[in-house]
Amino acid sequence: MWSKPWRLTEAFTIDGGLVTTGLLLQYTVGPIDWDMLAWPVNASILAVLVAGMVTVWWSGTWHKIYACHWLGGLDNAIGALGCVVVVTLVMGLTRQIPFNAPTIHDNPLDALGLTRMLSFWPLVLLYLWLTFSLGVVVMRRLIPFRWRNLPFLLLHAGLLLVLLCGTLGSADMQRLKMYVAQSAPEWRALTDDGRVMELPLAIDLKEFIMEYHTDSLHTPKRYASDLDILTHDGRRLHTVIEVNRPASALGWKIYQYGYDRMPGVTGDEGNVSILELVRDPWLPAVYTGIYMLIAGALCLLFITPRKKTDSDDLAAV
Amino acid sequence: MTWQLFSYFALGALLLWAMGAIAAWRQNSWLARAATITGLAVFGTFIALMWVSLERPPLRTMGETRLWYSFFLPLVGLVVYARWRYRWILSFSTIMATVFVCVNLFKPEIHDKTLMPALQSPWFAPHVIIYMFAYALLGAAFVMAVYLLFFKRKRSQKGIGAEMSLTDQLVRAGLAFMTVGMIFGALWAKEAWGHYWSWDPKETWAAITWWAYLVYLHLRLRYPKKHREALLLLVVAFALLQVCWWGINYLPSAQGASVHTYAS
């Protein structure tokens, strides 16, 4: 081992080292609290990561440092991807609970941290390693730029954007619940842990609409909120919000989350509309990555790769 | 149009597909293609009529998605046959389609008309149809892997090169469709639930499957001569795909935790 060229043995050794490091961190420092990564911490981490990717790419390409060059290669990619499969598989086989949920006693899996895999150090380190290597390989294909590398770049840089901005941005995402009764404008909303937040917009519910299936009166076919959105600068925006049809205002997306019935009040006026307000400032970056991935996937369909070392004599079959 | 008529359409389509498969063995490629296409038309008609009568795309339950799978398998078989003229591919796709038709006949999971509000979305049909097509392509790749690993004799290096190349192309196309299907799911989730990715058990398994096929493609690029390892990986990846598709309904870790189990 460690005689050049490095292959899969070296790759899996590095991944094993990451898992060991992760386990040590998990049981000394404790699980990762993603809320600690809120702005500006996540932006700093992003800057450090990008600087690291550029440095490794530079050292590999210009200074011919073998390890840095190898890091952006296929063996490392196979090793990292394989380990990501395994660690995600552990997550898929273990029932997951939210990070803030109370400890489950006499459950060894919970004690080990396997019920909160997104905060589990080995998983995060393996995904980080995959993302970092992806960044290095994107740099390598980006500079010098060649048009024939475009499909490769769309797929790899698209995934890189989604991974980086999706995870780092998650701490800045806000999800609030708002309970609105008819003709009682509301500008306060509740966080998941029950804190009240005042918003720069208010909701004035005109009417809560409820439609049932003709053959079953218990399951609603459609429910919607006919409402006005009032902004602090005095604008009034009329819209209808329903499931699958959110509205947008001042960087917030407003969803129909559910409904509730006020005690003692009958008829449709008795319905309280429950709205969810979501703000995700990193979404444009993630969506850019997503659209690049779609474009890359289409390239994958319509462009055949250059022939590799195997003989490809189709007539032989 | 109801499920009562399914057996007639299914039987008609299966007979035509079987005729196509036999014609392919006898090297009558014109008849093989014509019969398979006619079978697809018969089966497709049933899906279309179901769609109209249900007043929604028939994509909600396992039984309904199996309809699409039974449709796409012979379609993929036909494309592979038209391009590479494998005599056996149509037999395989016909047998696989028969299995899914039989499951629908004997365990039909009859469905009502109601569609919960979260599923009333323009994303619904493309998300599931694209996924089903990806599954069919990756199913074909799995059949190739099993054939090359366990059934093909005389493994001459020259012959297997072309067959590996076909397998690679099936995986590439399958992964491309899977990527688009997954992204459509993410974009839909943002509109319906407020977030594009929530690590719901179905999403976690979709990620596992996606990563696994990526391992295959990268392994093929780096070690193009390690056929056996790559093909075994393909078998494992297809097993993971089965968990993602239907195995998740029986997985203890996913019970009651997934928004994708509507049928219960």
- Chain A hits for B207, CB-CB cut-off 8 Å, are 88
Give the chain A residue nearest B183 (alpha carbons): A290
Task: Please tell me if residue A286 touches chain B, with a CB cutoff of 8 Å.
Answer: yes
Ramachandran angles phi, psi of B16, nearest 5°: -65, -40
Compute how many other C-beta atoms are within 10 angstroms of the C-beta atom of residue B42. Answer: 18
Distance CA B243, CA B260 (A): 13
What integer pLDDT is reported at residue A314 of this predicted model?
Answer: 34
The gap from C-alpha A104 to its chain's centroid, in whole angstroms, comes to 26
- B216 alpha carbon, distance to own chain's centre: 18
Does any CB of chain B come closer than 8 Å to the CB of residue A288?
Answer: no
The domains of chain A, with CATH numbers, are: 8-173+283-304 (no CATH), 174-279 (2.60.98)
Q: Across chain B, how many H-helices and E-strands are there?
A: 8, 0
Q: Is residue B165 part of a domain?
A: yes
Asked whether residue B248 is domain-assigned, the answer is yes
Provide the domain count of chain B.
2
Query: Do B138 and B247 belong to one domain?
Result: yes
- For the stretch A203-246, pLDDT in tens is 999 999 988 877 666 678 888 999 999 998 889 999 999 999 99
Q: What pLDDT score does A224 carry?
A: 93
pLDDT at position A93: 96
Whether residue B59 sits in one domain with residue B14: yes
| H or E stretch covering A77 | helix A74-93
- Max Cα distance, chain B (Å): 56
> What is the per-residue pLDDT for A66?
95
> Comparing C-alpha atoms, which of B69, B62, B58 is closest to residue B115?
B58
Same domain, B195 and B93: no
Task: Say yes or no: B243 and B167 in one domain.
Answer: yes
Residue A204 and residue A228 in contact, taking contact as beta carbons nearer than 8 Å: yes
Instruction: With CA atoms as reference, report the closest residue to A128 among A18, A51, A280, A44.
Output: A18
Q: Residue A5 is encoded by which pair of tokens? A: 């060229």
* B156 shares a domain with B107: no
Per-residue pLDDT reduced to its tens digit, B81-128 = 887 787 888 998 898 899 889 988 887 665 555 677 888 887 887 898
**Which SS3 state, helix, strand or coil, does residue B63 take?**
helix
Q: Is pTM, for the whole model, over 0.90? A: no
Let me know if residue B121 belongs to a domain. no
User: Chain A residues with CB inside 8 Å of B211's CB?
Assistant: 81, 84-85, 88
For residues A202 and A187, the answer to whether their CB atoms sit within 8 Å is: yes
Of A95, A175, A286, the CB nearest to B194: A175
Domain annotation covers residue B120: no
Cross-chain CB nearest to B204 (options A77, A78, A88): A88
| Residue that is last in its domain, among B115, B141, B171 | B115
Answer yes or no: do B110 and B178 share one domain: no
Are the C-beta atoms of residues A299 and A150 closer than 8 Å to each other?
yes
With a cut of 50, which residues of chain B have pLDDT below it?
263-264
Say yes or no: ipTM exceeds 0.90: yes
Same domain, B86 and B204: no
Question: Domain for residue B4, yes or no?
Answer: yes
Q: Which parts of chain A have pLDDT scores under 50? A: 308-317
Residues B180 and B77 in one domain: no
Do residues A243 and B117 touch, judged by C-beta distance below 8 A? Answer: yes
Residue B122 lies in a domain: no
* Domain that residue B9 falls in: 1-115
Largest Cα separation within chain A, whole Å, is 80
The pLDDT value recorded for residue A65 is 95
Q: Which two tokens stand for residue B221?
A: 């690029």
Do B177 and B97 share a domain, yes or no?
no
Same domain, B172 and B47: no
Element at A295 (helix H, strand E): helix A283-302
What token pair was written down for A127? 């995904």
